[in-house]
């Protein structure tokens, strides 16, 4: 416990905020003393400028210059505050001190409940020290000191262990940091190489073009790329996609996706965009017909899979096959079509829109 114990009689500083411009003791202002620093003493957390501290405490311990404070302070105890809010500064100091004494870890307890109880006790004590009444604070202080006396050996051991754990953690972090740095460098290097590769590729393509090799520029490019990919795959003993192909594509002059690409991106339609479902009638699951019953039940039909629904679908189709066909219209269309191909197409369209299916190959 290197830090001096906070005495039980510390009162909350009335003005808990660290002053920034005017020293509350000597009323000097920062405007005239640009290098002004404010110091506190953990005895009472009363802030004053460094010059006041020098003046008052240089010649030995003296009383706190604050009117309401009767603490005797020493020069050695003064330091700069870490937090602007001095009540926080004080709480942190207290917690540091308590944590240094109650430094057991979960491994020191048999059950989680024990550990939690311990943490609860520690927090109760800390709370009493931070914001309890004078009475409570005194009691907690006494408890803390008593515990420290009693478990000196354990505390030392835990502290040593804690330091080791801390050192290991630091080492681990340093290693991870180094590794990620190396990775970053490697990536940079790869990128650089890819860029160089692309430059050589472009040059090769240009040379090939200049030599007047067969094929379009795109074909030459494709060929060189394929060749290169093969070479790299051989070198590495495995295939990997070229990192620069995507970038390379992006460079080529093209505004929209070509028809080819659109075709490539379209989802595959197993039916090939053909819909053969009947549009003018519905086929039901079953039709009651005593003539069909033996076909459903007789072994020579049933066993090899003769399908009555297939028959019914065909019967339905044949029954309705003429629907939507107007012979006069077709003939008229055909008459008009004489001589011109375009008119013929029109006539055909006229015919097929009315038909059930696109069926008459020679229409």
Partner 1 sequence: MAVSPLVDGLPNPAARAVSSPLKNAASAQASSNGTPVPAVAPNATAAVQSAALDLSEQMNEDEKRKYIKGKKLGEGTYANVYLGQVRNDPSQLVAIKKIKINKEYTEGMSPDAVREIKHLQELDHPNIIKLHTVFSSKDQNLNLVLEFLPLGDLEILIKDTANVHYGVADTKAWMGMLTRAVWFCHENFVLHRDIKPNNLLIAADGEVKLADFGLARSFSDPYRPMTSNVITRWYRPPELLFGARHYSAAVDVWSVGLVFAELVMRAPYLAGNTELEQIELICKGVGTPTEENWPGVTKLPEYTISNQITPVLGKDHYNALFGTVGNEGVDLLMKTLILDPRKRITARDMLKHPWWHKDPKPTRKKELPRKSGGEGEEKVGADLKCRPGVVDEDRTNKVARKLDFGGPL
Residue ranges in contact with partner 1 by CB under 8 A: 263-264, 267-268, 270-272, 274, 276, 291-292, 294-295, 299-308, 310-311, 313-314, 317, 321-322, 325, 327, 330-331, 334, 337-341, 344, 351, 355-363
For partner 1, the closer of residues 81 and 355 by Cβ is: 355
Beta bridge partners of 79: 40
CB of 249 to partner 1, least distance (A): 18
245/258 Cα distance (integer angstroms): 18
The structure tokens 């004590």 sit at 125
321/278 Cα distance (integer angstroms): 10
332/349 Cα distance (integer angstroms): 13
Token pair for residue 115?
């550990």
CB of 92 to partner 1, least distance (A): 58
For partner 1, the closer of residues 111 and 265 by Cβ is: 265
Longest CA–CA span in the chain (Å) reads: 128
CB of 205 to partner 1, least distance (A): 22
CB of 240 to partner 1, least distance (A): 18
284/309 Cα distance (integer angstroms): 9
For partner 1, the closer of residues 134 and 329 by Cβ is: 329
Token pair for residue 80?
């700069």
The structure tokens 């520690």 sit at 122
Token pair for residue 204?
């090769």
CB of 99 to partner 1, least distance (A): 57
CB of 108 to partner 1, least distance (A): 53
CB of 242 to partner 1, least distance (A): 20
CB of 178 to partner 1, least distance (A): 40
Q: Is the dihedral of CA 224, 230, 234, 240 positive or negative?
A: positive
For partner 1, the closer of residues 256 and 270 by Cβ is: 270
For partner 1, the closer of residues 187 and 262 by Cβ is: 262
Token pair for residue 283?
């086929």
| Residue pair 6/92 in contact by the 8 Å Cβ criterion | no
For partner 1, the closer of residues 240 and 271 by Cβ is: 271
| Residue pair 103/155 in contact by the 8 Å Cβ criterion | yes
For partner 1, the closer of residues 37 and 331 by Cβ is: 331
| Residue pair 86/40 in contact by the 8 Å Cβ criterion | yes
247/269 Cα distance (integer angstroms): 31
For partner 1, the closer of residues 70 and 335 by Cβ is: 335
The CA–CA distances, whole Å, from 264 to 124, 216, 248, 259, 268 equal 70, 21, 19, 9, 9
CB of 252 to partner 1, least distance (A): 20
112-131 and 86-101 are packed helices; what angle lies between their axes, rounded to 10 degrees?
140
323/350 Cα distance (integer angstroms): 15
Element (H, E) at 361: none
């Amino acid at each position: 416990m290197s830090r001096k114990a906070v005495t039980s009689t510390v009162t909350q500083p009335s003005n808990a905020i660290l002053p920034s411009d005017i020293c509350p003791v000597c009323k000097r202002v920062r405007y005239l003393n640009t290098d002004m620093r404010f110091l506190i003493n953990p005895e009472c957390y009363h802030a004053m400028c460094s010059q006041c501290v020098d003046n008052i405490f240089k010649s030995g311990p003296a009383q706190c210059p604050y009117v309401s404070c009767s603490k005797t302070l020493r020069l050695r105890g003064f330091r700069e505050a870490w937090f602007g809010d001095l009540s926080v500064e004080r709480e942190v100091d207290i917690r540091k001190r308590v944590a240094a004494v109650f430094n057991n870890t979960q491994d020191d307890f048999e059950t989680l409940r024990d550990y939690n109880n311990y943490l609860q006790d520690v927090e109760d004590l800390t709370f009493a020290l931070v914001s309890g009444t004078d009475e409570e604070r005194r009691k907690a202080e006494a408890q803390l000191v008593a515990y420290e006396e009693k478990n000196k050996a354990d505390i030392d051991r835990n502290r040593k262990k804690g330091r080791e754990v801390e050192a290991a953690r630091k080492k681990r972090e340093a290693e991870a940091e180094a590794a990620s740095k190396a990775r970053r460098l490697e990536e940079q290097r790869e990128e650089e190489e890819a860029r160089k590769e692309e430059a050589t590729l472009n040059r090769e393509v240009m040379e090939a073009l200049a030599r007047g090799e067969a094929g379009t520029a795109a074909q030459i490019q494709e060929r060189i790329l394929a060749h290169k990919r093969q070479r790299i795959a051989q070198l590495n003993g495995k295939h990997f996609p070229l990192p620069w192909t995507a970038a390379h594509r992006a460079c080529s002059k093209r505004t929209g996706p070509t028809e080819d690409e659109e075709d490539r991106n379209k989802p595959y339609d197993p039916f090939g965009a053909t819909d053969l479902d009947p549009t003018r009638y519905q086929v039901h699951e079953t039709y009651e017909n005593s003539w069909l019953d033996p076909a459903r039940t007789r072994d020579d039909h049933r066993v090899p899979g003769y399908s009555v629904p297939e028959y019914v679908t065909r019967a339905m189709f044949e029954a309705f096959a003429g629907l939507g066909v107007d012979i006069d219209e077709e003939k008229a269309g055909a008459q008009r079509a004489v001589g011109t191909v375009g008119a013929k197409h029109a006539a055909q369209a006229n015919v097929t829109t009315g038909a059930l299916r696109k069926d008459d190959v020679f229409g």
